[in-house]
Chain A
Amino acid sequence: MVQTIAVDLKKSHIIGDLQSPKMNFTIEMALNDQGRKGNGLLSILRKLKSQPDKELRLLLLGLDNAGKTTLLKKLASEDITHITPTQGFNIKSVQSEGFKLNVWDIGGQRKIRPYWRNYFENTDVLIYVIDSADRKRLEETGHELEELLMEDKLANVPLLVYANKQDLLHAAPASDIAEGLGLHTIKDRPWQIQACSATAGEGVKDGMEWVCKNIKKK
């Protein structure tokens, strides 16, 4: 059984090499899915691949209780039932669609926000997480985002906004949030808003696909 898979892997890799880079990309996606089942295919894939993974630095920011750590754990396929408020930061490396993503999850507590700027350097994509159900703080989160977009070190860095907690009853739809934040006025960088529920895992992957595609264009 294992052997057949290994042979198939090799075949697909050869095909991948002969075909366009896009073909390679889809094959890797499929492999990633299999890898998640825990049969170690990812490691085989890494050895087979002709070029090493491109490393990317993703920065996860947002107010406290937005769901940044849950998102991070979800990306790393880890258990999300034991999460605690982040004092300081968490970092994880995640393999996704041929990229090695180094994801930095920085605490969102007001007292920690002044330290956000220490993590701006060399950021490839800024991921801003919003608790869509916390309507009272939409203004506060909008204000923080506005400040981030004015930072020199984050100039032209693509922005992905996760409108998180869509599973909650009172969650504002992503379109309302986009309007509230005035995302449409952003002209200096690619941006995207993605409705998601980090706990249910819905929409997270769509957001990450956008991230990877935008890196390709760069």
Chain B
Amino acid sequence: MFRSLLGIILWYLRPLMKWFLRKTTRLCELQRLCYGEKAGAPRSLRVENSLLQSRSGDIKNLIVFLDRISDGRKFIGTNKDSITHYAIHTVLRVKKINPQIHPQFGISFAKCIEHIWGYRQLIQEVEVLRTTPYDANNESHETKLLTLWELMMPSVQLESRVTKQWQDIGFQGDDPKTDFRGMGLLGLENLLYFAQEYPGPASHVLSHSHHPQYGYAFAVVGINLTSMAYHMLKDGSAKSHVYNVSQGLPTIKVFHHFYCYLFYEFDRFWIEAKPRNVMDFSHIREKFENTIRLSLSKPASVFRINISIDNI
């Protein structure tokens, strides 16, 4: 009751405050954010919020347009430049900003647009991978799977395509194809990226997974962490990190990086939690997720894999 009342008051108060600040600073809210907030998540998150609250018809139409473009994954290449240009132009016109006097505004604002709608586009891209089921008849899928083996177990030859050896890298049975399930190709691409881009940390984590007491199924846990990364991306929690690490459009690599960080950190968290056995996974996973979510709730959060730890 109190909160809804506060909401109503703020709804009326906001334009008044904006009008007051506009008169005193001679800048609109978007300008104040672009000049006053630090580039990255602190700025892009607030610009996003400001745009979404806008009551201007033109801005509302612009948002609908940008949503459609990014949902169709068309916010790329030369298209991208003309779209950001159009977005800047719309705001300059609606907010009556003179680009000659404010040349920096357009540049900063364009970055925000790339962050906000690039993120939305990234969700689509990740969703396409996730909804592509692992297909043992698809040669490119099979190649990726075999490459994962070679990277994780460089000194061991795979005896055949269907073999118990898969359990050594943490698949459940003789054939990994049934383990990807709801995460589809995304689960495999994530694991492969970890093995390819962070060979040291990946083999470090794999060796932990073979520990007699603290051991776990490497690939299966990896697929569960794909699910965690995916949900954090999808519900918007990962925005702070993604906006902070992306110079321009967030790409799929940013998502893979985020996943690698989660895997590396989860392994550490798991060992430190001293689990009795693998049955402790659910609740340690939950604790870990809460810790990550807490970090992500801070606009300044940036996750980087701390390799130095790995060498000790």
Contacts and interface: CB of A to CB of B under 8 A. Distances in A.
A190 interface: no
A216 interface: no
B126 interface: no
B220 interface: yes
Interface string B255-286: 00000000000000000000001111110010
A115 B217 CA distance: 15
A88 B279 CA distance: 4
B217 A84 contact: no
Interface stretch (B63-71, B74-82, B103-111, B179-187): B179-187
A118 to B, nearest CB: 7
Interface core residue of B173, B183, B224, B282 (most chain A CB under 10 Å)? B173
B278 A112 contact: yes
Counting chain A CB atoms within 10 Å of each CB, the highest count among B178, B179, B182 belongs to B182
B172 interface: yes
14 contacts: A64-B173, A65-B173, A65-B178, A85-B172, A85-B179, A87-B217, A87-B221, A87-B281, A87-B285, A88-B281, A88-B282, A89-B282, A109-B172, A115-B279
A118 B279 contact: yes
Contacts of B279: 88-89, 112, 115, 118
Interface string A31-52: 0000000000000000000000
Majority secondary structure, B binding face: helix
B147 interface: no
Interface string A87-118: 11110000000000000000011111001001
B203 interface: no
In the complex, the 10 A-B pairs of residues with the closest C-beta atoms, listed nearest first: A88-B281, A83-B182, A64-B172, A109-B172, A82-B182, A65-B178, A87-B281, A85-B220, A88-B282, A88-B279
A87 B231 CA distance: 18
B225 to A, nearest CB: 9
A83 B181 CA distance: 6
User: Which range contains the number of A residues in contact with the other chain?
Assistant: 10 to 19
Given A65-B172, A84-B223, A111 B217 contact: yes
B227 interface: yes
Interface string A64-90: 110000000000000011111101111
Band of interface residues on B: 20 to 34
Contacts of A88: 278-282
B167 interface: yes
Contacts of A65: 172-173, 178-179
B216 interface: yes
A120 to B, nearest CB: 14
Contacts of B216: 87
Contacts of A80: 182
A110 B173 contact: yes
A84 B178 CA distance: 10
A87 B105 CA distance: 50
A87 B227 contact: no
> Which residue of B216, B217, B220 has the most chain A CB atoms within 10 A of its CB atom?
B220
B84 to A, nearest CB: 33
Contacts of A84: 181-183, 187, 220, 223-224, 226-227
